[in-house]
Amino acid sequence: MAPDMGIASIRLPILLWREVISQLRKRGEDRAESGAFLLGHQRGPSARVTTYVCYDDLDPLAYQSGGIVFHAVGCAALWRFCREKGLLVLADVHTHMGKGISQSHTDQLNPMIPVIGHTAMIVPDFGRTPWLSLRAVGVYEYLGSFAWRAHSASQRLRRVSLTLW
């Protein structure tokens, strides 16, 4: 289920983030992109991630092309999972090769959740990145019509922030 999208900030527990990064590295085997949806609950303009689900758990063929191609079967499985657990998709995260955290042209034209306000995150080096901070992670907000707003880790009010719980 998609959230209200009036989300101003997403809180992400640091130990959960460490687990997500670990899974992305493992699934990409240090040579391929991998990704996950960050799921949780929204309360007003704030949301909190409580769990995640990797793309290939929903769509076993998501990584077969060398990049990420998320098929309809994965979308159906995601919405079923969210409905059964009472969760919302708060963001998606995927890895890129190399140090870059900018969105590729493909990323820009293919939002995982094409709803205004959805948050997409990009992790460099196939997930070989420090998990204690989001400074090396790209954070983008979908504005519709394939336009995105970048959110810098140096902003005082961050779109996504790591928390203790």
Evaluate whether residue 18 is within a structural domain: no
What is the predicted pLDDT for the residue at 28? 93
What is the predicted pLDDT for the residue at 7? 86
Do the beta carbons of residue 14 and residue 132 sit within 8 Å? Answer: yes
- Which single residue is written with the structure tokens 């997500």? 20
Share of the chain above pLDDT 90, in %: 84
pTM confidence score: 0.94
Evaluate whether residue 3 is within a structural domain: no
Evaluate whether residue 95 is within a structural domain: yes
**Residue 77 belongs to what domain range?**
28-163
| pLDDT tens figures, 34-63 | 999 999 999 999 999 999 999 999 999 999
Confidence band (pLDDT; 50, 70, 90) for 1?
low
- Taking alpha carbons only, the member of 7, 4, 6 closest to residue 159 is 7
pLDDT at 2 over 90: no
Evaluate whether residue 10 is within a structural domain: no
Q: Structurally, how many domains does the chain consist of?
A: 1
Evaluate whether residue 106 is within a structural domain: yes
| pLDDT tens figures, 125-160 | 999 999 999 999 999 999 999 999 999 877 777 899
* Centroid of chain to Cα 91: 4
| pLDDT tens figures, 53-94 | 999 999 999 999 878 999 999 999 999 999 999 999 999 999
Q: Which two tokens stand for residue 39?
A: 């799921």
Residue 161, classed as helix, strand or coil, is strand
User: The CATH number of the domain where 157 resides is what?
Assistant: 3.40.140.10
